Chain A
């Protein structure tokens, strides 16, 4: 035994009265109540924590399901489209894991721009959003041949603020929806959020003349896909360009 030991003679026995003076049954009861209360709280905390963990574990797989299925907004927009493309309609939803599964719309959504009339662009692609997921299918989004950075540069350089609107000092965002066909060219250009006639014409011109795109592919075959981009009109930048002119 490593512990130090002291062997000693018995001390004079304590009197009953002295021992009784240490008795405190009321204190014992109070401590017991406190202990059982904290035990109760502890027990419920453990139960709640376990429930929470179980809930999260159950919810996680569902969350992944939601991420890989098309969002309802995209579905509605697709349905509202006049004269839907047959190829788009029959297109089974196929998601490439590394591009869409975790953040299907995020990649091209915001690109910080230091100057120029366009501050941001967003893309929505809805290849037959209402079809069931085919896990073997392999889908790649359409994207500009030279990349989004180059596209935004083109927007900054090519966008002209409509001179007729300078007086009204209109600023804002026009949203343009178009289809990138199998050849990578835009068609069916539509303004989904308008700032006015002149802005619509300019936004359509901008999209028509933009650099070529790589079409979306489904199992390696090019297919049509729908893109939505916001085009920002800022008056200040255009005024500068007018002064330059």
Chain B
């Protein structure tokens, strides 16, 4: 456990040095770009579904990150969380501007976890039928939390980092949303 923490700390230190260098020389950003490109690309692709559009949006995300790098202050928050936050905003802007249908990718295991959290009274199939309508009743910020926590199965700490809230608040908010979903689900 201690070894893992040390390794994580070292990684953060390396990242901090890379960001510092990138502020002075954009060429130094290449390492960060290569390190996070895949994760950001997949993050966007799960929401957009189209590869070409995903490539465009990912490029836009890194451009924003590079041009606003001077505003990034290292306060123990992973750089990835900052990138994911930009990605989330870009996706949100994209849906707002284009009025495209929003995609939510739900793997089988994630669906089961969600089903267990919501209720055991009805079957999983029933949930999957009702889920689109239930999710449509959530606000964008509520949907983001459910998506990050259950559909992408991220730890609460990461969800909190991406959304810029505390871990405790992320937990509280998640269970409030689950409660709301439960009511919508059980509503005849």
Contact = CB atoms under 8 A, between A and B. Distances in A.
A169 to B, nearest CB: 77
A8 B42 contact: no
Given A7-B106, A22-B55, A1 B136 contact: yes
B66 A8 contact: no
A26 B152 CA distance: 31
Contacts of B55: 22
Contacts of A8: 49, 103-106
A10 B111 CA distance: 12
Given A5-B132, A7-B128, A29 B102 contact: no
Interface in B75-89: none
Contact of B63 (A3, A11, A14, A35): A35
The secondary structure that dominates the A interface is mixed
A4 B59 contact: no
Contact of B140 (A1, A20, A23): A1
Interface string A1-37: 1111111111101101011101111011101100110
Given A1-B138, A25-B33, A32-B66, A14 B42 contact: yes
Which of A18, A25, A35, A36 gathers most chain B CB within 10 Å? Answer: A25
Interface in B19-73: 26-27, 29-30, 33-34, 37-38, 41-42, 45-46, 49, 51, 54-55, 58-59, 62-63, 66-67
B101 A23 contact: no
Nearest to B133: A5
B63 A28 contact: yes
A16 B59 CA distance: 17
Contacts of B33: 23, 25, 28
B139 A27 contact: no
Nearest to B95: A3
A10 B107 contact: yes
B135 interface: yes
Interface size range on A against B:
20 to 34
Contacts, number: 95
Interface in A134-167: none
B148 interface: no
A6 B104 contact: yes
Contacts of A20: 37-38
Closest A-B pairs by Cβ, 6 of them: A22-B55, A4-B101, A7-B104, A1-B136, A32-B66, A10-B105
Given A3-B99, A28-B59, 16 more contacts: A1-B138, A1-B139, A1-B143, A3-B136, A5-B136, A6-B104, A7-B132, A8-B106, A14-B45, A16-B38, A23-B33, A27-B59, A28-B62, A32-B26, A35-B63, A35-B67
19 contacts: A3-B99, A3-B102, A5-B101, A5-B102, A6-B132, A7-B105, A8-B49, A10-B46, A10-B106, A16-B38, A18-B51, A19-B41, A19-B42, A20-B38, A22-B37, A29-B27, A31-B63, A32-B26, A39-B67
